Structure 1
């Protein structure tokens, strides 16, 4: 890809761009300036991209991709941007996935977690689903060569023959309590779909549904992994336990991430 300009070629321009981005509230203005300049094909493209960023569009939507576990994941305007903390969820899933087994990425958004699993674990049969049409469109781009993507509510669109065959079921479902959605940064609150953020009154509506239905889809010895807050994790673990799964918590202080892992007993 050609670049419109670079910091070395035009240090005055770069400095002015950094200043404009910082004034707009971009904390990592230097990094963002470099990314925007590298992504733009022409000066006109760069000007338009900078305008969109200053107007509040997430950087990932402006440049068209997000970095996730070392991969470039395509993201379109209106699609949930994969968070760095969710890399912990992906790594936990990788540790449990086995080659050539069935993996399901539920509430897949852009398909970031599924893409990482497919690039890391050999020969998995990958299925992904999301209720948001824009997310499904985006996931189909990212998973075009490695998996199938379905549109619908949680398990509803999945092929029925997956029941009892899923080795790893991973779900980055919405878990922000409804009353806290208004407190999210504008980039998320305004530019990402509410269905990907709002988890109901206590944030657990969707996660409870996932945890309650998962045992019927898991193979013996299979695992369910979901991201949640540290405070919500015990409640999700309790739902898993009531459904017959053993439940454990994993956390990463560096990323501020919590994952609840349920395991179905071996046959």
Structure 2
């Protein structure tokens, strides 16, 4: 592996990262070269680099090792154990951002790191709120969103939100868990062993949280407000039906390159 001349290498690090790449490859890292770049950029000396490589080779997600993830061009802090924002979720964020007018009231449920809310922050919402049931995710999201003027609440979906938002939310995002319970064991070990199960397990068919979000959405959305939820292609029809049964008007949007499926639902 060769690095461009502009790639920063602290003086205490070896100039040739091929050994790091080889170690990552043996551990099963598909994008070993790219990951080596990230590790080199984040390490201050050889000892720290060695520790980071060992943690990654042991199976920790790269984002937990270095403490951040790139999402829609932003660097988002990711604390240990917190759900890592996925590339496919960039499609959800961009769809929501495109529909967010300035001065909107924005809520991000099941926010994890707060990555999606952070993307929408540059639309200068009048109010930006996020919520999660996991205390570690709430702490992480506050690190990411407080500098952007966002408020992060701990609690179960709508129970976490200030009551004054009811009927006033213009953009409601909920990237909740949607992996069917029996499929959690089939997930890569990075997710299965290092992220909270509550961020992965969506119940028997994966749609338990989505149904709860949809059922409560009409009471929180402003007239004409939109709900954005991520799901899978195989769940899309059932997810769309659940949203429609809640009295919302759904549309399905997909991105084949990212294997991403999003339901966009409008309150009449």
Which of 98, 113, 130 in structure 2 is aligned with 1:128? Answer: 130
**Alignment partners' CA distance in 1, 2:108 and 2:40:** 33
Tell me if 1:71 matches 2:74.
Answer: yes
SS in 1 for 2:226: strand
Instruction: Tell me the CA shift for residue 123 of structure 1.
Output: 3.6
Question: Equivalent residue for 2:152?
Answer: 149
Tell me if 1:115 matches 2:118.
Answer: yes
Do the aligned partners of residues 242 and 6 (structure 1) sit closer, same or farther apart at CA in structure 2, a change above 3 Å counting?
A: farther
Question: Equivalent residue for 1:189?
Answer: 192
Question: What is the correspondence of 1:9-158 to structure 2 with a 5 Å cutoff?
Answer: 10-11=15-16, 14-119=17-122, 121-145=123-147, 146-158=149-161
Is contact 1:5–1:43 with CA below 8 Å preserved after alignment?
A: no
Do the aligned partners of residues 65 and 5 (structure 1) sit closer, same or farther apart at CA in structure 2, a change above 3 Å counting?
A: farther
SS in 1 for 2:234: coil
Question: What is the correspondence of 1:199-210 to structure 2 with a 5 Å cutoff?
Answer: 199-210=202-213
Is contact 2:12–2:46 with CA below 8 Å preserved after alignment?
A: no
**Alignment partners' CA distance in 2, 1:167 and 1:55:** 43
The runs of 4+ residues in structure 1 deviating greater than 3 Å are 2-7
CA RMSD of aligned residues (A): 1.3
Instruction: Tell me the CA shift for residue 95 of structure 1.
Output: 1.2
TM-score (norm 2): 0.94
Range that drifts further, 231-240 or 54-63: 231-240
Which of 219, 223, 229 in structure 2 is aligned with 1:220? Answer: 223
Is contact 2:105–2:125 with CA below 8 Å preserved after alignment?
A: no
Unaligned runs of at least 5 residues, structure 1: none
